Amino acid sequence: MRLGLYKLVMSVFIIFYIGTVVASHNRKSDFWGAYYKKFRWMQTTMCFWQNWGMFAPPPGSTSWLVLQGKKADGEIIDLEPLYAPVEKPYWRWRYDRRQKLALSSFQKSRKPLRNGIARYACHRAEEAGTPLKSVIMTRDRTWAVRPSKRWKDSDQKGRHKVEELGEIKCR
C-alpha cells in the first residue's frame, strides 16, 4: 500500500517536473508557455533552473571590477576591490566567490547587484572613517590575443578598454 502510494506520487511528480523542464525551454509556444506559467514554481521555489549554456560562448576577455569613491569635497580615492587582479605567475587553489560576484555585475540588467556592491563599499568606507558621497564603478577589460599573434609573441597584450559602469550615490 505504502509502495503503491509512493509510486503514484513520484509518477505524478516526475511527469510534471519533466514537463516544466521542457516548458522552460519552449516558453514561446502557446501550450508550453501557459504550462510554464502554471508550474514554474517547481523551478523557482528551490531554484532548480535548467539553463546550462556553460562557456557558450567562451569568455574571451579578462575583466576586473574597479571601485573608486568620491568624497564630499569631490576628491576621488581608490577603494579596496571585491577581488584584486591576480599577478602573474599564479596558481589558485580556491574558487573565489567574490570574483564571481564581480563578474556577475558586468551585465547591463544587473543594476540591483551593482547597487548592492556600491552600498557595501559605502558602508565599509564609512566604517573606516572616510564617508563617501558616491561610488564610481568601472570595468577594466583586456581581450585575449588571437592565437596566431600569440605564437609570434607570447607577451603581447590584447585590446584594452576601461568602461564606466556608473556612479552610485551613498545613502
Cβ atoms 18, 37 nearer than 8 A: no
Give me 84's grid cell: 584584486
Q: Angle formed by the axes of helices 111-127 and 97-104, to 10°?
A: 130
Under the binding rule (CB under 8 A), the answer on residue 20 touching other proteins is no
| Count of all residues that appear for the chain in the document | 171
Give me 70's grid cell: 568620491
Cell 555585475 belongs to: 105
Under the binding rule (CB under 8 A), the answer on residue 53 touching other proteins is yes
Where does this chain touch other proteins (CB under 8 A) — which range of 30-38, 71-79, 85-93, 160-168?
85-93
How far is it, in rounded angstroms, from Cα 10 to Cα 4? 10
| The one among 47, 72, 129, 157 contacting other proteins by CB under 8 A | 47
Report the Cα–Cα distance between both ends of the chain, in Å, rounded: 61
Where does this chain touch other proteins (CB under 8 A) — which range of 27-35, 61-69, 71-79, 128-136?
61-69
Under the binding rule (CB under 8 A), the answer on residue 31 touching other proteins is no
Which residues form the interface with other proteins (CB under 8 A)? 6-7, 10-11, 13-14, 18, 21, 25, 40-41, 44-63, 82, 85-86, 88-92, 94-101, 103-105, 110, 112-113, 115-117, 119-120, 123, 144-145, 147, 150-151, 154
